């Protein structure tokens, strides 16, 4: 059975690049353009992994995006895409929030696909 990866980002170009790379490696891919859509999609389809853009919406209604997404689908394995190392020096304890990997932008699609293959087999 193909593993389902959910891409959550406001950037359609970034989602398209990752979608093509992941599908070429045999993954099924879903997309969400914002955290609210991501939450709904996680609840509905329970993806095997999600890649969320930390810079998309760092805090909405007082909760970090990754915390809300994790609450929506605790079975999911989360990877976090971010724009740079400066974004990682904030108040978030990423491991505590359930983030199991970080990909810095510009993201190398080959590294993402290899990491997900290793993590999900």
Mean pLDDT score, 33-62: 78
64: confidence class by pLDDT, cuts 50, 70, 90: low
CA-nearest of 37, 31, 44 to 5 is 31
- Give the torsion sign (CA, 66, 21, 15, 108): positive
Structure tokens that stand for 43 in this block? 């609840």
Count of CB atoms situated within 10 Å of the CB of 35:
25
31: confidence class by pLDDT, cuts 50, 70, 90: very high
pTM of the predicted model as reported, rounded to 2 decimal places:
0.83
With 0-12 / 13-18 / 19 or more C-beta atoms within 10 angstroms meaning exposed / middle / buried, residue 98 is middle
pLDDT at 52: 86
pLDDT at 84: 59
Residue ranges of the alpha helices (H) in 28-64? 35-45
List phi, psi (to 5°) of 96: -60, -35
Per-residue pLDDT tens digits for 67-99: 777 777 766 667 777 665 555 555 556 666 677
CA-nearest of 68, 10, 11 to 40 is 68
116: confidence class by pLDDT, cuts 50, 70, 90: very high
pLDDT at 19: 96
pLDDT at 60: 47
Query: Which neighbouring-strand residues pair with 104?
Result: 82
Q: What is the Cα–Cα distance from 113 to 22, expressed in whole angstroms?
A: 6
17: confidence class by pLDDT, cuts 50, 70, 90: very high
């Amino acid at each position: 059975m193909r593993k389902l990866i959910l891409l959550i980002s406001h950037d359609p170009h970034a989602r398209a690049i990752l979608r093509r790379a992941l599908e070429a490696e045999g993954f099924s891919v879903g997309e969400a353009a914002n955290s609210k859509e991501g939450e709904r999609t996680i609840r509905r389809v329970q993806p095997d992994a999600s890649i969320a853009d930390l810079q998309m919406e760092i805090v909405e209604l007082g909760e970090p995006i990754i915390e809300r997404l994790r609450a929506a689908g605790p079975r999911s394995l989360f990877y976090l895409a971010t724009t740079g190392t400066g974004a990682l020096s904030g108040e978030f304890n990423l491991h505590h929030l359930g983030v199991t990997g970080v990909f810095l932008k510009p993201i190398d699609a080959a590294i993402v696909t290899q990491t997900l293959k290793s993590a999900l087999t």
